[in-house]
Structure 1
Amino acid sequence: MKAIIFNSGLGSRMGDFTNAFHKSMTPLKDGETILHRQLRLLTEEGIRDFIITVGPFEEQIRAAAAQFPEAGFTFVRNDIYDRTNYIYSMFLARDAINDDMLVLHGDLVFDRKLVRDMLACKDQDCAPVNFSKKLPDKDFKGRVVDGRIIEVSIHIFDDDCHSFQPFYKLQKAAASAWVGKVVQFISEGKDKCYAENALNEIFKALNIRAFPSDEYYIDEIDNNEDRLRVMEEIVAFDQDQKYA
């Protein structure tokens, strides 16, 4: 299984920090960065093959990856990261998305047990849905019907919508179907939307199950308010779980 981490964006809502650093270099507990934590936990759970899309501060991301010599890395550069969304980075990485995949955004902070249990989950295609958390205003929600995710968007707030984070476990067939729809979107000039916009058109033909994430930790850092909150929460969560 491969993992693809989308780290090609600007992180413009992080203020002065992202004038000099990539958002994935945001320090968490003990100074460990978001990206280092992601790579550490994923490699500890057996992932050895990574694709990382890059845009600004590519050298910082490469230096972080170099700290994991046991893993192999393919870097996919998006030279127009400042005027495209990550759907275009997925398009550029399309040839490397050729296996069972973990697909995740580069601003996610999560715990190791989530990775372990999602990998062990009997559902071949799944993504984390928190059924007890208040719906976020600005972040993704997932529409769940009979245990299946059928839509992901920041704009949905119905009774069957729940807090969602973009961390997907997908078999090769589902990943390939998503990439195929992304290629279609790019051919139509749709390069400024989320890759989820393409996925939404084929969700109902797939069987991506909701993985209940209520007992785990997974959240994204999108701005400085998120950064301060997540830094505090992940320290407390790791101490309670003793499984960081």
Structure 2
Amino acid sequence: MKVVMLAAGIGARLGSKITEPPPKVLLRFGGKSLLEYHLEIFRQQGIDELVLGVGYKHQDIEREIMALGAQDFVRTVFNEDYREGNIVTLWTVRDELRCGGPVLLMDADVLYDEELLARLINSSHQNCLLLDRDFEPGDEPVKICVRDGEVVEFRKWLSTGYDYCGESVGMFKLSNDAARLIIAQTALYLDQGRRHEPYEETIRDALLTSPRGAFAFEDITGLPWIEIDFAADVARAENEILPRIASAANKRRAATVIKGDIDRDAAQDL
């Protein structure tokens, strides 16, 4: 399976005092870049290839790929109009999304527990979103709204008519048909001059125009993750989320060891 990741933005909302901050995918936590964390998880989960839609300081990203020895695993697609918004980057990587099979579309600025990606990959749903019910209300989070167990809305600004909602993690598993529909919507937005719309609006359009149940979700409430948009997110990622991710990984390793011991003892008793 291929991952297509949007990593072209400037990250202006981080409010850095540095004149030219690094691309967000190169922000470092615990001594590693976000890109390195992504690559470790992708390889653990059997991902075949990562395609990065790049723009701002793309040479720095390409140097990091080389430094990590990942040039045979990662390709980049350059969006020269990266200042115009992520919907333009989505259009730039359109051929990568039309790959003929399931594909993962992701934001680059997310630090997350490996279990999130595992649930997305292993979901029985062809078109799948990740929903976290534990979130702070407001206009910033992109929300997934559910009624009668089905996704009925997907955007930052909501109306009524749903049972509950949660925050979208910014990771999507898409069938080839869904990917093509999203690309068609992206073309329509660009033709209409709507180049500064958030790319999630094209996913919303695809969701709302597809048959009921075509898009579904996995509930990942309780698993540690964070989207890094603001300076406060950087501090929280380092001081809170990263330790929680490490703790969750240690618990999984311990459970695997215990299960192995139990299985070995059971085999010896036969």
Answer whether TM exceeds 0.5 for this pair. yes
**Deviation for aligned residue 1:196:** 1.5
Q: 1:233 aligns with which of 234, 237, 240?
A: 240
- Structure-to-structure mapping, 1:4-83, within 5 angstroms: 4-14=4-14, 15-17=16-18, 19-29=20-30, 31-66=31-66, 67-69=68-70, 71-82=72-83
Deviation at 1:70?
7.6
Give the Å deviation of 1:68. Answer: 4.5
Q: Equivalent residue of 1:89, what SS?
A: helix
Name 1:198's counterpart in structure 2.
202
Q: Superposition pairs for residues 1-244 of structure 1, below 5 Å? A: 1-14=1-14, 15-17=16-18, 19-29=20-30, 31-66=31-66, 67-69=68-70, 71-82=72-83, 84-99=84-99, 100-156=102-158, 158=160, 160-204=164-208, 205=210, 207-241=214-248, 242=250
Q: Residue 168 of structure 1 aligns to a residue in which SS?
A: strand
Runs of at least 5 residues in structure 2 that lack an aligned partner in the other structure: 254-270
| Cα offset, 1:199, TM superposition | 2.1
What percentage of residue pairs aligned between the two structures are identical? 20
Render the CA deviation track for 1:13-46: whole Å, top value 9, x for unaligned. 22134714112111112x1111211122112211
- 2: CA distance, partners of 1:45 / 1:121: 13
Q: Which runs of 4+ in 1 moved over 6 A?
A: none
Measured on the aligned residues, the alpha-carbon RMSD in Å equals: 2.1
In 1, Cα distance between the equivalents of 2:40 and 2:18? 23
The answer to whether the 8 A contact 2:225-2:241 is kept is no
| Structure 1 counterpart of 2:242, one-letter code | V
Deviates more, 1:189-198 or 1:136-145: 136-145
The answer to whether the 8 Å contact 1:129/1:211 transfers is yes
User: Radius of gyration: which is bigger?
Assistant: 2
Give the superposition deviation at 1:122: 1.2
Determine the C-alpha separation between the residues in 1 that align with 2:18 and 2:111. 18
Q: Which amino acid aligns with 1:45?
A: Q
Q: Shift of the alpha carbon at 1:61?
A: 1.3
Q: State the SS of the aligned residue for 2:64.
A: helix
- How far apart, in 1, do the equivalents of 2:147 and 2:92 lie? 32
CA contact (8 A) 1:178 1:198 kept: yes
SS at match of 1:144: strand
SS for the counterpart of 2:187 is helix
CA distance in 1, matches of 2:59, 2:116: 29
TM-superposed CA distance for 1:6, in Å, is 0.3
| Equivalent residue letter for 1:121 | S
Q: Deviations over 1:57-93 (max 9, x none)?
A: 11221123232538533311111212x1111111111
Would the alpha carbon gap of residues 12 and 70 (structure 1) be closer, same or farther in structure 2, given more than 3 Å must change? closer
For the 8 Å contact 2:113–2:223, the answer to whether it is kept is yes
In structure 2, the CA distance between the partners of 1:147 and 1:126, relative to structure 1 (3 Å rule), is farther
For 2:264, the equivalent position in structure 1 comes to none
Q: TM-score, normalised by structure 2?
A: 0.82
Q: CA separation in 2, counterparts of 1:116 and 1:186?
A: 33
71-80 or 84-93: which moved more?
A: 71-80
Q: TM-score, normalising length from structure 1? A: 0.90
